[in-house]
Amino acid sequence: MIERLETDRLILRRPTPEDAQAYIAYYASDWRATHGPVMQASGARRRYQRILAHWEKNGYGRFVIERKGEDGALGLAGPHWPDSYPEAELTGQLWTRDATGKGYGVEAVIAARSHAYTALGWTSAVTYVHSENHLAVRMARKLGARIDASVHAPAALYGHDAWRHPSPEELSSTGVHHPVRRSRIARPRKPAAPVLTTPRLTLRPYRFEDFEPVAAFLASDRARPMHGPYSREAAWAWFTNNVAQWSLFGYGGLMIEAQGRTVGQVSINSGLAFPEPELGWFLFDGNEGQGFATEAARALRDFAYESAGLETLVSYCTPENAASIALAERLGATLDPEAPRPAPSVVVYRHPAADADGSPEAYA
């Protein structure tokens, strides 16, 4: 694990918890407001904790930038690859206006890119830049990157373009670099819906044959806490919505398997019918009382925080559904009477945000 890089003017080092205050101050600053949304300290702190967690999980991550011979962090730069990102990313971020215009960001990202291509073995990388972040666009161009229209930014980075960096081969040549769509990237793209595992369960994408047991459940009295029973046509809309949300939002529904048996489903629901993303679940008859729903919901919630860019979730429960309320409370959710509700007949339980890896970042 390489935790320190040097350039002519800069030191890039692994972040420490002590750097958090400078990061939090940046997200609350007028400077930040010129190229991205400001953020309260609690949200910025969670994002910084994800940066530290990325190092712990992967053995690499973004470096804090310092000037040689001077105390004080200038920003962050380095390789970044959350699970929800289709391919490897290089980021660069300066935390104060005074640090801009001196080439520090470009110098730091060049060093980080060389590190990624040599020590980490990457063969390609992109940087996600919001189309209105003109400083970051200029920096991407100085780095030799070009927009790659074939790459879609992760759902959490709506409005961002993927700027592709020159490959190691392109950087070693003497020609003009115009990186465009290529079939070779650092690792294969992941399917829209992941497979998640827990000690007892597998959470997998939907299959066509899953529709019949889902439709049977939704047609039964067991669906009454979910405002059912539902017709077969409504069940199909429910089923396909959970599949489609992965492409639209980067999260959706997964089937729950235990020892090879399909025992239910867990999902994050969003869209017009939901004021905010909602974590939901149900189990097929005979699978209650074994902790399957709790284990599955916790795993999908962790994925949402770590990989889909969500910072909190809610669960909508009818007041008489004591089992779902108890499950939400086991997950640490608490009643939020101020939260908007999709229907007057439900109560809202808000889940706590978790320290996790993979947060959208702005570039400057």
pLDDT, tens digit, 9 for 90 and up, residues 327-354: 999 999 999 999 999 999 899 999 987 5
- 3-state secondary structure at position 197: strand
Query: What are the structural domain ranges in the chain?
Result: 4-172, 196-351
pLDDT > 80? residue 82: yes
Same fold? 4-172, 196-351: yes
Task: Please check whether residue 76 is in contact with residue 65, taking contact to mean a CB–CB distance below 8 angstroms.
Answer: yes
Q: Percent of the chain, pLDDT > 90?
A: 68
- Assigned CATH topology for domain 4-172: Aminopeptidase (3.40.630)
Dihedral sign of CA atoms 281, 287, 292, 296 in order: negative
> d(Cα 262, Cα 264) in Å, to the nearest integer?
6
Task: Please check whether residue 255 is in contact with residue 239, taking contact to mean a CB–CB distance below 8 angstroms.
Answer: no
**pTM (2 d.p.):** 0.54
Cα of 290 vs its chain's centroid, Å: 30
CATH of domain 196-351: 3.40.630.30
Contacts of 251 (CB under 8 A, 6+ apart): 155, 245, 268, 270, 277, 300, 303, 304, 308, 310
User: At CA 243, angle to CA 239 and CA 247, rounded to 5?
Assistant: 155
Give the pLDDT confidence of 183-223 residue by residue, as tens digits. Answer: 333 333 344 688 899 999 999 999 999 999 999 999 999 99
Q: Percent of the chain, pLDDT > 70?
A: 91
> d(Cα 146, Cα 161) in Å, to the nearest integer?
10
Average pLDDT over every residue of 307-326: 90
pLDDT band at 273 (very low <50, low <70, confident <90, very high): confident
Task: Please check whether residue 129 is in contact with residue 135, taking contact to mean a CB–CB distance below 8 angstroms.
Answer: no
Other CB atoms within a 10 A radius of the CB of residue 79 amount to 24
- 3-state secondary structure at position 138: helix
- Chain position carrying tokens 């003497």: 174
- 288 φ, ψ to 5°? -80, 165
